[in-house]
Amino acid sequence: MESLFGKTLSELQDVAAAMKLPRFAAKQIADWLYKKNASSIDDMTNLSKSARAALAEQYEVGRKAPIDVAESVDGTKKYLFEAAGGYVETAYIPDADRATLCVSSQVGCKMMCRFCMTGRQGFAGNLSTCEILNQMASIPETESLTNIVYMGMGEPMDNLDAVLKSIEILTSEWGYAWSPRRITVSTIGVMPAMQTFLEKCDAHLAISLHNAIHEERAQLMPTENHFPIEETINTLRRYDWSGQRRLSFEYTMFGGVNDKPQHVAAISKLLAGMRCRINIINFNPIPDSDLTGTPRTAMEHFRDQLNNRGFIATIRNSRGQDIMAACGLLSTNKKNE
């Protein structure tokens, strides 16, 4: 049965028209779905009984509770959701007065980055808009969330239509009415989807950089051969980053691989003059990998060298490592078998 949850207002207007309901019924349904958290069509009491009965013959609300949860010693929680293509994981990360949810956009991923468990898993399917939003709407901490990052399983720009619809629902007055400044979407630089995202959406953008040298980045991220980082940066330079929208670069550090002075120089050259933030991330080891992390003191020196060159660089603390919820560790490979 088709879900109502995850439909935009225009899609709900199409539903209302097909069911021969008045046009304003679409706004009423959206209100029940996104503001009143209705769990069933019967809850929508300002629709007539006959309208509810007709809707229930073809539709369900469609929100589904997580089927498992793991909790870290640091308070991070990892939720497991069933999806049409298998299973996905979602990380809830509380931190003082902030609570961030790291949502997935795909079951697995096509990008095959060497340092990522999701990439190693392979690709099993795109999540629907309903399945993306359900990760936010069906956990106990929904009301406490301050930020959402599309940095879980999958490449968001490889499922752009569903991602954009989910952000439309999150940010619209008839939806959850969030500011787009509470949302960050990550990408390795998939084109032309990234351009479409920048033109249609005001959410923040994070680029998975990890190496600014073409040949070395290709060894870590095979997609560098299809979407070179230099072309990504050239595209980004055509947009205005002087306002509130934030551009950031994710840089996971690997011992002896991308943590040398020449890598500071390469980043500085690549991003020269750009208004951006660089987030340095500790590598969370994955099984059977020849990659290792960079010592903390070396990471701090790397950060300081970038800051000395005029960038804003910070080290992001890893969260949820003990439950495999930290950056690069999400995977449902065994569960999908």
Active site residues: 89, 327
The single-letter code of the amino acid at 118 is T
DSSP label of 180: G
CA–CA separation, 83 and 166 (whole Å): 16
Closest CA to 145 of 135, 153, 155: 135
Which one-letter DSSP state was computed for residue 156?
G
Please report, for the chain, how many H helices and E strands are present, in that order: 12, 14
Other CB atoms within a 10 A radius of the CB of residue 178 amount to 19
CA of 10: how far to CAs of 63, 233, 265, in Å? 20, 34, 49
The residues with which 100 forms a beta bridge, in sequence order, are 93, 147
Q: Are 166 and 106 in contact (CB under 8 A)?
A: no
Q: How far apart are CA 209 and CA 224, in angstroms?
A: 10
Q: Are 292 and 39 in contact (CB under 8 A)?
A: no
Torsion of CA 195, 200, 204, 210, to 10 degrees: -20
